[in-house]
Structure 1
């Protein structure tokens, strides 16, 4: 939760807290905040237990973290022994084979100079483009 907070940011937050609450009331505020966090966690844990008991014995081992999509896929695909299916899905979304085919085709056409292909290299026999007169007052 607080992994994105660097030590410098935590020091800055502490300094701002000292200025806002003062050094006298800061310990009291920290105690109140931790008490509220404990009560919220206890309330969430009791709600989870109530929900598990209401769902019945077939959901006794149910974990709420399993509802996260990554955890759900990991539990049912990887841990379930379906590694071949997972590898097949990965390969289906892998663009590397198509990119290798395109690269090979581009290299082949550049080497073979087949008729009807477009070359991106400058042609030595090409006529220079004609320059049109530019009228600065017209624009």
Structure 2
């Protein structure tokens, strides 16, 4: 729950609590906060149980964490019997097709775009550069 709280943040919270409540009232404030958190957890577990029972027996294994899109993707797409992340990256990587097209383009023989009767005079281009 508090995995991203570092040591500096924790020390800052303890000092702030000591300043706000004082050393005499701090244990009572901690007990009050812990009781509120315990009641909140009980309430949320009761609500989860009521939702599961209201959904019916076919949703007994329903987990609320599965509603998070990241968890859903990890569970259903990236699991061991589904696709692996490397396979998805390989399937969406355009580089192999681009390499194939580029090698075909470089290996092809040059094609002349001139008509049979259209020949350039030596030293002069076949197109007027001022007209373009």
Range class of TM-score, shorter chain: 0.5 to 0.7
Aligned equivalents of 2:80 and 2:50: distance in 1? Answer: 29
Give the aligned partner of residue 122 of structure 2.
none
Give the aligned partner of residue 66 of structure 2.
66
Aligned equivalents of 1:56 and 1:80: distance in 2? Answer: 29
Aligned equivalents of 2:8 and 2:89: distance in 1? Answer: 40
Would you say how many aligned residue pairs link Structure 1 and Structure 2? 101
**TM-score of the superposed pair, with normalisation by structure 2:** 0.64
Give the aligned partner of residue 12 of structure 2.
12
Aligned-CA RMSD value: 2.7
Structure possessing the higher radius of gyration over alpha carbons: 2
Residue 55 of structure 1 deviates from its aligned partner by 0.2
Give the aligned partner of residue 130 of structure 1.
none
Structure 2 counterparts to residues 1-139 of structure 1, below 5 A: 1-79=1-79, 81-83=81-83, 87-94=86-93, 97=95, 101=99
Question: Unpaired segments of 5 or more residues in structure 2?
Answer: 107-132
**TM-score of the superposed pair, with normalisation by structure 1:** 0.61
Distance 1:74 1:9, change over 3 A: closer
Residue 17 of structure 1 deviates from its aligned partner by 0.8
Give the aligned partner of residue 125 of structure 1.
none
Question: Unpaired segments of 5 or more residues in structure 1?
Answer: 109-139
Deviating above 6 A after TM superposition, structure 1's stretches of 4 or more consecutive aligned residues are: none
Partner SS state of residue 83, structure 1: coil
Distance 1:3 1:82, change over 3 A: closer
